[in-house]
Amino acid sequence: MLERIYKAQELMDSACQTLGRRINIMEVCGTHTVSIFRSGIRATLPKELKLLSGPGCPVCVTDQSYIDTVLELAEHDDCIIATYGDMIRVPGRSGSLETKQPGLNIKVVLSSEDALQLAKDNPEKIVVLIAVGFETTAPSTAVVVKEAAEQGIKNFCVFSGHKLVVPAMRALLMEINNNIDAFLCPGHVSVIIGSGAFKEIVDDFGKPCVVAGFEPMQIIEGLAEICRQLSRGEAELKSMYSAVVTEKGNETAKKILAEVFEPSDGYWRGLGKIDKSTLQLQDKYEQFDALKRFGITETPVEDTSGCRCGEVLCGLIEPPECNLFGKSCTPDTPVGPCMVSSEGTCAAWFKYGRKRQREQ
């Protein structure tokens, strides 16, 4: 084990020496963010090697207008809002699902199946699944939409906030002042889409992409592999997580995703509108589209709270550079979504980064 760590450190050091400048590696996965903090990897890296936490936490990249629309849906008396736990504390313009109105009909679910079951158990109500998440989660939404259609369940619908990782990576690289040298690619998203999905980033932008799992050793070796490529001026696609990630991914899940959803332009917090980056229901499933059902349109709004989650998500600033961080914005009183989710960059910095500062 130690030998592997030394070898990884050697590769990182040598890349820093060869390039003679700061190296920025972005991870695009909330679980990586947490694992990196928890295991203390950051402190062991060469000074010139920086890890940027990108848009890898589904809650954090959800645009404020989405939250506002969820709150609007929640005001319908005949509605039950079925949501994953992470979403209930995210603040919109007029409070969050948790604080707004205690009487609102909001149920926390662990699975899309639970939401469909709620619809079956409450035939007089319309159950709206607040469907957030990347490609790992989206197939489970697709399955229940198909099931609802097959079983003729009419009081169930979905407000899709599902997002696609690769278009967001492309958008980040298209920004002129981006400083990203390479990506540490998400493990469980790759289980679905396959490591091959990142090949376009390598081919079109010449940036190394390495898929890693969540064990600290795998993250360290993933970072070292990126450094090896950077110091040779190469860009390749590699997977350190071959135990569960294949090149093509889960074909069944991909097929059902394509059958139920289609990529559509959508808004991301901090990144704005990105072409073909969100998943909307195909026309043949439009009766399950919550927005169409309730005749609501999602209007993007400008966030005026002073929250800088957007810049954090693009790797442009670190959380302590935001004036609200640790002052008016804490995990107990989050202003922005990166502080709400336990996988959010700001929450991880608050929890682990500050402790490290105290120890120093």
Least gap, CB of 76 to other proteins (angstroms): 25
**DSSP H helical segments within the chain, as ranges?**
2-19, 30-39, 41-44, 58-61, 64-74, 112-121, 138-151, 165-174, 187-193, 199-205, 216-231, 251-260, 290-294, 309-313, 337-340, 345-348, 354-359
Residues in contact with other proteins by CB under 8 A are: 29-31, 38, 57-59, 84, 86, 110-114, 132-134, 136-137, 139-140, 143, 186-189, 191-192, 214-215, 243-244, 250, 252-253, 256, 341, 343, 351
Least gap, CB of 198 to other proteins (angstroms): 15
C-beta of 18 vs 333, nearer to other proteins: 333
Least gap, CB of 341 to other proteins (angstroms): 7
What residues have CB less than 8 Å from 298, skipping those under 6 apart?
65, 66, 69, 267, 291
C-beta of 49 vs 220, nearer to other proteins: 220
C-beta of 111 vs 151, nearer to other proteins: 111
* Contact by Cβ (8 Å): 354, 218: no
Least gap, CB of 102 to other proteins (angstroms): 25
Which residue(s) pair with 63 in the sheet? none
Query: What DSSP string describes 269-292?
Result: TTTEEEEEEEEEE-GGGGGGBHHH
Least gap, CB of 22 to other proteins (angstroms): 28
Residue 228 tokens read as: 């090896």
* Contact by Cβ (8 Å): 100, 318: no
* Contact by Cβ (8 Å): 315, 54: yes
What residues have CB less than 8 Å from 80, skipping those under 6 apart?
105, 106, 107, 118, 119, 122, 125, 126, 127, 128
> Please, what's the largest Cα pairwise distance for the chain?
67
Least gap, CB of 186 to other proteins (angstroms): 6
C-beta of 192 vs 324, nearer to other proteins: 192
Q: Give, in order, the Cα–Cα distances in Å from 139 to each of 13, 19, 198, 270.
A: 41, 41, 19, 25
What residues have CB less than 8 Å from 239, skipping those under 6 apart?
190, 195, 210, 211, 245, 247
Which residue(s) pair with 280 in the sheet? 262
Least gap, CB of 133 to other proteins (angstroms): 6
C-beta of 99 vs 252, nearer to other proteins: 252
C-beta of 114 vs 262, nearer to other proteins: 114
Least gap, CB of 353 to other proteins (angstroms): 14
C-beta of 185 vs 271, nearer to other proteins: 185
C-beta of 184 vs 227, nearer to other proteins: 184
